[in-house]
Chain A
Amino acid sequence: MSRLAPDRWAAIVLFGAAAVTPLFVRDTFILDSVILILLWGALSAAWNVAGGYAGQVSLGHAAFFGIGAYAAALMSARYGRSPWLGLGVGVLLSIGAGAMIGYLSNRLKGPYFALSTIAFAEVLKIVASRWRGFTAGSEGVPVPFRPGFWTLGLGHVAWLYLILVLALGCYALQIYLERSRIGYQLAGVREDEDAAEALGIATRRRKVQAIVVSAALTSASGSLWAQYVGFVDPTHVFSIDLSVRFALNAIIGGIGTALGPFLGSVLITSLETYLRATFSGIKAGFTGIYLIIYGVVLILIVRFAPEGLTGIASRLRARRIRAHA
Chain B
Amino acid sequence: MDPAARLGFAQIDVLAQLAVSTVLLGGIYALIAVGLTLIFGIMRVVNFAHGEFLMLGMYLAFFAFTMRNLDPYLVLLAAIPIFFGVGLIVYVLIMKGVIHASHNVQIFTTVGLSTALQNVALVLWSGDFQVFRPWESSVVLRVAGTAFNLSQVIAFAVAVALTVALIAFMKWTHTGRVMRATAQDRDAATLMGIDTDRVYRLTFAIGIACVGAAGVLVSPLYAAYPQAGLQFVTLAYVVVVLGGLGDMAGAMLGSLIVAAVEVGGSYVFGAAWKEVFYFLLFIGVLVFRPAGIFGQRGAETLGT
Contact = CB atoms under 8 A, between A and B. Distances in A.
A241 interface: yes
A295 B123 contact: no
A109 B300 contact: yes
A107 B290 contact: yes
Given A111-B103, A299-B113, A303-B97, A288 B119 contact: yes
B275 A122 contact: yes
Contacts of B116: 291-292, 294-296, 299
A110 B304 contact: yes
A109 B279 contact: no
Interface stretch (B137-145, B183-191, B255-263, B280-288): B280-288
Contacts of A291: 115-116, 118-119, 122
A251 B108 CA distance: 9
Given A116-B283, A306-B105, A295 B113 contact: yes
A114 B107 contact: yes
User: Interface residues of B: mostly helix, strand, loop or mixed?
Assistant: helix
Given A288-B119, A289-B123, A111 B46 contact: yes
A110 B273 CA distance: 29
Interface in B257-304: 272-273, 275-276, 279-280, 282-283, 286-287, 290, 300-301, 303-304
A108 B123 contact: no
Contact of A115 (B46, B97, B304): B46
Interface residues of A, number: 42
Contacts of A255: 104
B15 interface: no
B227 to A, nearest CB: 9
B111 interface: yes
B70 interface: no
Contacts of A292: 115-116, 119-120, 123
Contacts of B238: 119
Contacts of B131: none
Interface in A237-294: 240-241, 244, 247, 251, 255, 284-285, 287-289, 291-292, 294
Interface of B: 46, 94, 97-98, 101, 103-109, 111-120, 122-123, 126-127, 230, 234, 237-238, 241, 272-273, 275-276, 279-280, 282-283, 286-287, 290, 300-301, 303-304
Interface of A: 57, 59, 104, 107-112, 114-116, 118-120, 122-123, 126-127, 130, 240-241, 244, 247, 251, 255, 284-285, 287-289, 291-292, 294-299, 302-303, 306
24 contacts: A57-B104, A108-B286, A108-B290, A109-B103, A109-B300, A110-B107, A115-B46, A116-B282, A119-B282, A122-B279, A126-B273, A126-B276, A284-B127, A287-B119, A288-B122, A291-B122, A292-B115, A292-B120, A292-B123, A294-B112, A296-B112, A297-B112, A298-B111, A299-B116
Nearest 4 A-B pairs (CB), nearest first?
A: A295-B116, A298-B112, A295-B115, A110-B103
